[in-house]
Structure 1
């Protein structure tokens, strides 16, 4: 993807210009060919150059916008102090911060619609996985076994549901979204407690031994990136 170019390449800067120019058009035309053409026109960037850098047009800009939100979260995490929070509260706070950094709700809604299309669904799931990975990395996750996958899988589901709730939230300051995030994290914590209780049950240990031994062979990828094409 374009955002993976080296720092001395002009591509990231051009993509950023196109992305920012596109934002005012997305609420009306979605992440579409019309939006991409408008962004090219507004920036004055050569159309052939723009298409060479973003061969999929606005789809590439939508992907870039999501990556930019993840990068902004990593930067904000260095500015806010969450050290006094419990671990579950830290996760909830970072989800909340990421949603706040998502920008205009209609822009996000249009991206959600785009990545719900069959041809883009896998990439959309990969983007959400990338957000979950960003949150875990910010929290210093050092897992290198099957937990690396399960943590990101679980958080991807939580984050996705929170974004969908936020898109329909009309409460003041999106207070209902914040409460929803807390409830979803509480649900996960209860589930984790149930799993821990099952592992500690002596009657179930013989049945769990084999699957745990198999899962114990799973290792996180060396590059610690999301599976599939996400950037």
Structure 2
């Protein structure tokens, strides 16, 4: 059986410490000692310190969610229910909410706010990709931006929800998705309205040049622009 890589070992050793010391250098140091990993290796796998460890934990959660979605029978669900199921699956896979709470505290710091935003965006991207999204235009961005907002607000509600089985969180999630669906219906009606379409022809023509990123590892970066004919 292959040996677990140092970063995974470090993460596993860190998790019991996070509820007490957060995603901090103290946790990183204690985890390294518990896992028997020297400082040179810690610096190699987490060059930015504890924030890299927190991001690795988030990435592991995303990977577990994708595996669960691939194994689920999504075809039997309405599309909006698939989105709700994906978000719920991502949160259900969290074994200790305190790790998320501590992560939110870390990513609220100005120097790490960008990391937190990108991590949430990647989660949204993985959900849309797992659900079969094939958009290549501005919709690629709007879908992920909207879902990032839904996911972020749901996480905040979930952290304070003490209802049985987090039932209130799932009700909150359904309401947020319903809000998004209403926006999409409004956009569809606006496109059908000739007067609105005429007024928006300039902005819509500009936005039509936006393309999804070709490198999915850079999913949080702007896409490319289609040159005019």
Please give the range of the TM-score, normalised by the shorter of the 2 chains: over 0.9
Which residue is 1:37 aligned to?
29
Deviation of 1:189 (Å): 0.1
Any idea what SS the aligned residue of 2:204 has? helix
**Distance between the aligned counterparts of 1:40 and 1:125, measured in 2?**
27
Q: 2:214 aligns with which of 192, 212, 222?
A: 222
Do structure 1's residue 140 and structure 2's residue 132 form an aligned pair?
yes
Deviation of 1:36 (Å): 0.4
In angstroms, what is the RMSD of aligned CA positions?
A: 1.4
**Distance between the aligned counterparts of 2:42 and 2:137, measured in 1?**
41
Q: Which of 1 and 2 has higher RCO (CA within 8 Å, sep 6+)?
A: 1
TM-score by length of 1: 0.91
**Distance between the aligned counterparts of 1:82 and 1:179, measured in 2?**
20
Which residue is 1:4 aligned to?
none
Deviation of 1:102 (Å): 2.8
Which residue is 2:224 aligned to?
none
Which residue is 2:181 aligned to?
189
Q: How does 1:1-231 map to 2 (within 5 A)?
A: 13-224=5-216, 225-227=218-220
1:89-120 per-position Cα deviation (integer Å, ceiling 9, x unaligned): 10010000001123311110000110111000
- Identify unmatched segments of 5+ residues in structure 2: 222-229
Any idea what SS the aligned residue of 2:28 has? helix
**Distance between the aligned counterparts of 2:172 and 2:6, measured in 1?**
37
TM-score by length of 2: 0.92
1:195-224 per-position Cα deviation (integer Å, ceiling 9, x unaligned): 111111122121011111111111111113
1:138-184 per-position Cα deviation (integer Å, ceiling 9, x unaligned): 01111111111111101001100010010000001111111111111
